[in-house]
Each structure stands twice: as C-alpha cells, then as structure tokens.
Chains A and B, each alone.
Chain A
C-alpha cells in the first residue's frame, strides 16, 4: 500500500513519536474514498493485545463530508467503523486534526465511552507552518488598494458567490482578486 507523506511538522512528530509507540501514521486523504484500505492497514497492525502507549496516528486535515440525512461526517464514521470491524480498541487511534470540537462527534459514535481515542486539535501542519518567518515591515507607502482576495486553488461555490458579489457591487476596483498567485 502506498500513502501520501504526512503533513505533521518535524517538532510535532518528534514529540508524538517520543511519547507513543507509533504503529502506523497515515492521512485521512489516503482512505476517505476507500475505507477498505484503512481496514487492510489495521488488519496488518492487529495484535492480541495493545499496550497503553500504542497508537495509530491518523492526520485529519482534509474536510469531511456532512450529508443532511446523516448525523456524522462520513469519513469519521467510516474510520471508527474500521476500528470496530477489525476489533482494535479505539484508544489506539490518535487523531491529529484541524477540526476543533470534533471530540463531541467522536463521543457520539463511540460504542464504549471508556475506550476513547486521543484527539489533538491544531492548525500547525506542513507546509504552511514555516521554519522561519521574516519580520515583514509594513511599508504602508506601497499600499494602493484596500483589499486582496486570493481565490486560487480548488474552485468552491462560496468563492464564486463572493466574486459574484464583488462584480455586482462594483467592488473589483477596490479588491484585487487572484486565481493563480500561488506557485
């Protein structure tokens, strides 16, 4: 099986690998369309019994899908189902996530409230956390427009709606819009 490289920063990795016995380290994106891939990985890591510091780290920095008729995110539900299906205690899961407050949703899915995963909520992950930031002087003399809006990347309907609002309200002389500024 091949997996995408983790987004966790080196400092976080050093800390977590020092604290826990990491059995596997993957990203939600690796299996969100294919829960059987997670199931296969968990099968390979299955043991007769798990030590209290054993962990499977799953990075959850990609967005989940919330269907109006479902109570929980599809990725989250499938992920926990895979643990239950392979019969691995959920304390082995360490969810490294930028979804602040997701613990309540997890608690709602958990079968045994005493078998809780570790959840670390953070928006510190690669590549946008830099090793070094420049001081960045303001240079207000260079300011020639009130605002900028970077809409590069994946098209999203809220971005289109925003641009629509700018055009209809004649704001494009006040807001510089980009669709391709990132390298």
Chain B
C-alpha cells in the first residue's frame, strides 16, 4: 500500500474561488471598534460593540461540518452569528442543543451542500441581516437574551455532558 503525497500539499479545499480581486488581499484593515481588553482569547470585550458575528470559518468547501473556536466565540460572547463555512454546521450545533436563531437570521444556507449555491445564499442573508435597522437588531438581541444565556450555559457544560455520554456507552 502506498502513500499519497500531492505537491504542493494544501489542507484548504477552495479551488472553486477563481476570481478573487487581488486588491482585497491587501485591503483588509482592522476596524477601530475591534480593540480593547481581552477577557480571554475567546470572550472579547469589543464584541459588545456588535450584534452579529460573520464567522469566516477555517474551511468553506469541505465535506464535513467542522466547528472551530471561531464559531464558539459568538456563542461565548452572546451574539447572533452567520457561518461562512461548510454545510450542516448549524445542523450540528442544533444536534448538540444549541439555538441557531433561525427565526431571526435565515439559516437555510446551511442545508445547501453545493458551495456555489450556498455562497449566493450567504451573500443574501448577510446583506439582509446587516442592513436591518440597528435598533431592530439590538431589540432582537435584548428580547432573546435568555436564549443567548442558554447557549452559553450549554457551552460551559458541553465537555462534561459529552464525557458523561461516553461513560454510558
């Protein structure tokens, strides 16, 4: 049996993005609101300046719904989120008991396994969400604080819950 080692080897499966504007590579700047004290690496004080986190996950075109620290950050900071990542990530979160706020932000993009179609759905949901009046978004956050609290509690206890389940297998 032989090993397979393509050269160059890359872990990123993103070949379908073929028309990236080159200036965008250099144009990214850190916004002035993204600074301030770190409560930890993952609970960030400056998240209080925003309602929604657009989570640009590690991978996008990928066969599995991988979740990293990027998505756990809005959960630990009690914010809404849109996941720019593989399909079925919201589905996975819901299977663990997390609320994905689909009544507030349309999460149907998560079911679309075709990366191109999912991208178009994501563009639409991002535009629709960030163009909502800021007061409406704030009110939605306030009205749903109990659900955000529940998500944080779930995250706090997730490790214990998972290990308990393994013990009972």
0 or 1 for each of A121-155: is its CB under 8 Å from B? (1 = yes): 01110011110011110111011111111110011
Q: How far is the CA of A48 from the CA of B38 in the complex (A)?
A: 52
Which B1-46 residues have C-beta < 8 A from chain A? 1-6, 9-14, 17, 20-21, 24-25, 27-31, 33-35, 38-44, 46
Contact with B along A66-110 (1 / 0, CB 8 A): 110010001001100110110000000000001111100100000
Contact flags (1/0) for B152-165 with A, using CB distance below 8 Å?
Answer: 10011011101100
Q: Cβ of A142: which chain B residues have Cβ within 8 Å of it?
A: 48-49
For residue B72, which residues in chain A have a CB less than 8 angstroms away from its CB?
A: 123, 128-129
User: Does A5 sit at the interface, judged by CB under 8 A?
Assistant: no
Cα A171 to Cα B132 with chains together (Å)? 12
Contacting pair B12 A182 (CB below 8 A): no
Asked if B129 contacts A147 (CB within 8 A), the reply is yes
A136 touches B24 (CB 8 A): no
Q: Which residues of B contact A67 (CB under 8 A)?
A: 6
Interface set, chain A 11-65, CB cutoff 8 A to B: 11-12, 15, 32-33, 35-36, 62-65
**Are B34 and A181 in contact (CB-based, < 8 A)?**
yes
B31 touches A146 (CB 8 A): no
Most buried by B among A35, A129, A130, A138: A138
Q: Is the CB of B63 within 8 A of A66?
A: yes
Shortest CB-to-CB span from A41 to chain B, Å, is 15
- Contacting residues, chain A, for B101 (C-beta < 8 A): none
Q: Which of B38, B46, B127, B155 contacts A169 (CB 8 A)?
A: B127
Given A102-B64, A142-B48 in contact, is the A129-B10 Cβ separation under 8 Å?
no
Q: How many chain A residues touch the partner (CB < 8 A)? A: 78
| A interface residues, Cβ below 8 angstroms from B | 9, 11-12, 15, 32-33, 35-36, 62-67, 70, 74, 77-78, 81-82, 84-85, 98-102, 105, 120, 122-124, 127-130, 133-136, 138-140, 142-151, 154-165, 167, 169, 171, 174-183
B residues apposed to A, CB below 8 Å? 1-6, 9-14, 17, 20-21, 24-25, 27-31, 33-35, 38-44, 46-56, 58-70, 72-73, 76-78, 84, 92, 119, 123, 126-127, 129-132, 134, 137-138, 141-142, 145, 148, 152, 155-156, 158-160, 162-163, 166-167
Give me 11 other A-B pairs in contact (C-beta within 8 A), A146-B134, A158-B59 excluded.
A11-B160, A98-B68, A100-B65, A100-B92, A105-B63, A128-B41, A134-B43, A135-B152, A142-B49, A144-B134, A179-B30
